[in-house]
Amino acid sequence: MKTVLILIIALSIGAISLQSQTKDTVYVVTKDTVFMNSKAKIDPISGEIGAVFGTPSGINLTGAIHADKILVRLTGMALNTITGIQVDLGYKFNEVERTYHAISLAAGMTKIEDTGYSGYGYRVYNTWDYIGINYMMNTRGFILGVGLSAGSGSFPNPQLLFQIGYSYQIR
């Protein structure tokens, strides 16, 4: 019994000595302990540049400027048979690390050549001028946009707004 007591005292002194050598801080958690959850500081996005598939012109180049919670995105392309441009004014309602979610108001136009019509040397186009609402999500560059638009032109109301692609986040 005497040997066990001496061994416990020796181990306790050794542990205290080891702790003082490593300069570790020991925290004792009690029922009154309150943990402060500080929000992780993220490096904000200042802009984006990339390419997406979808509205307004099938294959699009896209770029965005971010100012805190507000973003302005320009998307579009002029191809041989389809041309389109879309401007989004958005509000980022959630942003963590490399992901943000935003809701935006969109305005744009699409012009698609009607290849089924054979005219006398001139082209006939189907058009769509629209405004709409759009949800956008960008996570580590992968971008997805889904929404609805209403407008005038050759297509019935409402029309689906859809974008999927890659948009590099400039920090």
pLDDT band at 102 (very low <50, low <70, confident <90, very high): very high
| CATH, residue 162 | 2.40.160.20
- pLDDT above 50 (res 20): no
Say what the pLDDT of residue 149 is: 95
Strand-strand pairing, 125-139 and 99-113 = antiparallel
In a domain, 129, yes or no: yes
In a domain, 71, yes or no: yes
Give the tens place of pLDDT for each residue, 133-170.
Answer: 999 999 999 999 999 999 998 889 999 999 999 999 99
From residue 38, alpha-carbon distances to 35, 96, 118, 140, 158 in Å are 9, 13, 66, 23, 44
In a domain, 33, yes or no: no
Instruction: Count the domains in the chain.
Output: 1
In a domain, 144, yes or no: yes
In a domain, 59, yes or no: yes
In a domain, 24, yes or no: no
Q: The tokens 């986040």 sit on which residue?
A: 169
Say what the pLDDT of residue 97 is: 84
Say what the pLDDT of residue 32 is: 64
In a domain, 38, yes or no: no
**Cβ of 86: how many Cβ atoms within 10 Å?**
27
In a domain, 5, yes or no: no
Give the tens place of pLDDT for each residue, 74-91.
Answer: 999 998 889 999 999 999
Task: Give the N- to C-terminal CA distance of the chain in Å, as an integer.
Answer: 66
Q: Which helix (H) or strand (E) holds 99?
A: strand 99-113
Say what the pLDDT of residue 25 is: 59
Give me the domain span that covers residue 65: 47-170
Distance, CA of 125 to CA of 81 (rounded, Å):
9
Predicted TM-score of the model (pTM)? 0.70
CB within 8 Å of 126: residues ≥ 6 apart: 111, 112, 113, 114, 153, 154, 155
